[in-house]
Structure 1
Amino acid sequence: MIRGKIPFDTTSLKKLPRTTGVYFFLNKDNVPVYIGKAINIAARISNHIADIKNIKEAKIREASAYLDWRETNSEFEALLLEAKMIKKYSPVFNVSLKDDKTNAYIVIPKQKLPRILFVRENQMPENLLFWFGPLTSMRMARSLMRRIRRSIPFCTDRRKSACFYSHIGLCSPCPGIIEKLKNGEEKTILTAQYDRNIHRVISVLNGNGERVIRLLKHDMKEYSDNERFEEAALVRNRMTHLHELFRKRLFFDEQLEDPLFLYKKRMEDSEDLKRVLALPKLDRIECFDVSIFSAKQAVASMVVFTQGAQNKREYRRFRIRHKSVYDPQMLAEVLKRRLTHIEWPLPDVMIIDGGRPQLRYIYTSLEKQLSIIPEIIGIAKRPDRLICARTLEPIAVTSDSPAMHYVQRARDEAHRFARKYHISLRTKLQFK
């Protein structure tokens, strides 16, 4: 159920999150009159309010009494959730103020070996197995399905012959090939396989990415047990890509019913990491990363998460003073400088992007210079795994656990923040 979290007025804008998600303009009866998605919810709603010349925006403002929102972990999730909410509520200003020609839909006809089609609202065929939309343009619809296709092969070609994508593994098995086979066991198996792919696409479009990831994981294990290792590796790559799209396990129906859904998931991540690290408390973690083009332009970032959520006010940036281009040496410098700031709250855990060599050098350096060192862990790659700096031993945690998701989220944010600072410095140098 959608309920207005805050009144629709300029004084309430400070309460809006600056995160990715879907937002709702509601009338006095808590009925959505407009639904949109944004990378930054607060900034997007501010744009709606500031645009005084646009007639559509003026009508939305006039009809609105409350604001609500649902945070997501990625733009992909926001796109799926926005389309699902528009489909469910049919907000008046998402429908009446759009030319039907601009609305695009993804449709799957109810037929044997169905192709996935892209149609306009006035071209919607009858007897559909599934439809998804409205989307703002055909370009958006095709872009969305291109992302999904990297994880789940399907066909969009109506011709009764092998399509282009069948030659590069993105339509496998191809209906054009299946239809030419004589009735028999091979045709039955391939038909069932294609039908399974179509239903997995539907699950992803419905927001059930976790279910499809579980199914892909089962397929990978089955191939591996039968020593079909190339096929197992292919499924693993598809599963990894799908996991990247969703970033975390989210169910949109749960999220719709519970406005605190994302908050609870973040707390779950934090509690799981506390359990894995056997810590008495885990309120604050800090994650560090280095970005370097040359020794003169080496920088580092420190991002802060409190109880599972980003705390951007506590983010810090560092210019590396040491002339070395050796990552562990630069990270050791940054961690030492950070720990000398006694006015900053001490973290429960410090995270670096690195394995045993980096951790060994950093921890040894800090031990020689500091008396108090918080828990430090590294995240080693290929595959991602956690390592304790004190013991240099791996930490028992599964790749799909909430604890690992939390650490990965912190690492990715530290990398983004360091890279952003690095690019800004390089740009300034170029225009000096």
Structure 2
Amino acid sequence: MDLLRKKLSLLPEKPGVYLMKNAAGKIIYVGKAKVLKNRVRSYFTGSHDQKTQKLVSEITDFEYIVTSSEVEALLLECNLIKKYNPQYNIMLRDDKSYPYILITSEKHPRLIVTRQVQKKKGKYYGPYPNATAARETARLLNRLLPLRKCKQIPAKPCLYYHLGQCLGPCLHSITAEEYEEIIDKANQYLRGNQKSIISWLEEKMHAAASSLQFEAAREYRDLIADLHKISEKQNITLNDFKNRDIIAYFANEELLSIQIFCFRQGKLVTRDGFIFPYYAEPEEAFVTFLVQYYSEKAAIPDEICIPELNSSSVFDILPLVIPKRGKNRELINLAQANAQTVLEEKIKLEKDKKEEVNRTLEGLTEVLQIPKAEVIEAFDISSLAGTGVVGGMIQFQGGRPYRSNYRKFKIEPLANNNDDTAYLKHVIYRRYARLLKEDKPLPDLVLVDGGKGHVKAALEALQDLQIQLPVAGMVKDERHETRGLINNKGQEIDLTSKPEVFRLIQQIQEEVHRFAITFHRQQRLKNITASELDNIPGIGPKRKRLLLSTFQSLEQIKNASLAELTKAGLPQNTAEGVYNYFRKNN
């Protein structure tokens, strides 16, 4: 703490970026400041809300970088967040991947639909609301404009060349000037200028009709009709055909909610939403979000409409506009109302969910007469007629699966192969002996998949370790479905009056069974193939999977002909090795 105080006293009164570190020296938060001295000191003085207190409690050191301006600090902050991925910063993990139309920058350009946005590949248009809309537009433009369609230039002309839908770079060289007019027309259409394309097609249609080329005239007529159809499908809400994003935010004491309406060519095509905790002022967090969000985008719109800001630095980085009145101002208000509604809905849903979980866990503690059930560990044994025995353990925290704490147990055969309870006792002993050795916390409740015998085995294992933990068994009915619980006295507890507790026990029982049996199947498959296929030169894990997926069983692989092995995808010499191995060993 003395080091922190000394460093705080040395902070300059200049703009810059600060990096907060935890005890392990890991960067946990990156922030920017107009005045470093004031901003960094504010974390260690006065009172803070709960989330900021949590951040401050982990800070043991910090670094800072002085910049020449607030704009430079904003850009540096964005780059450092990307580099260090700090746990307390805004993480824009957006799993939505919208389709774009790309005009490639290749020597012979193509017009394609893609979700992979890489700035150097060419010019992107979008995003489109769905793949169908993007593909429909791309299909029409590819019919209309003779751009290259093939991924690789073929040795001889394809059908598109004969249909007049490709200039044929496979036949003769095409200059950049020849492509220029075609690319210009594609750009015009994708920027929203459909009228000029339709006028151009109408001229071609009339010229073809005048020359008595009625087939060509009919083709142009159909293209014009398709263009009108696509335009009608898209609901135009702004009449200036600009690419524009409308962004607004709403904040409570802990969370910031942001809504983005994406207009492309005057049409609302997508809506994005983000909710995350913030540790500075809401406006400051919003500005950081803007820079970070658009630094990931291949195509930045012509305008980004936002609410009023006190900070001016971000205006030097992005094409921001603050609408004062009119349709865009109304859309800002609408986005802000959406941000508030989404945030309030999220808070209410999480509150309801938390209350439901609390009621369920209280019900479970009540029926088992135990102090709490915040952390539950459940065990199951899986085998096939006493062979290939494995154990599985899952953990639930706060009524939800906590998969990083799931554990698998390989078990050596015991004297009585069919005694599930002996294997269960062995696994439980191993689990809690290790926790004791590593001085790690024990669970509040241990559940086992089984009845009285299984509960007794678990209690014996814990007794051997001199541990006292509540244990219960999850029993099934004759249809092998969850029936109820057996407490540590061997008494069955009826859960019909506690449906929420029954659902939780059912979920835990199904999950631990799934986890254990999946591990058993993996081990069994490995054991089945290990003694045979692993002995054959040239057969590694990948080729082993290929053979098993093609032939379904080891017996079928043994009986396969050389031609069948080659057809399955093995190289000739490897296929011969497999074929000869099984013939020699038979």
Instruction: Identify the TM-score tier after normalising by the shorter chain.
Output: 0.3 to 0.5
Q: Which has the higher contact order (CA 8 A, sep 6+)?
A: 1
Using the size of structure 2 for normalisation, the TM-score is: 0.32
Look at both structures and tell me which one has the larger radius of gyration over its CA atoms.
2
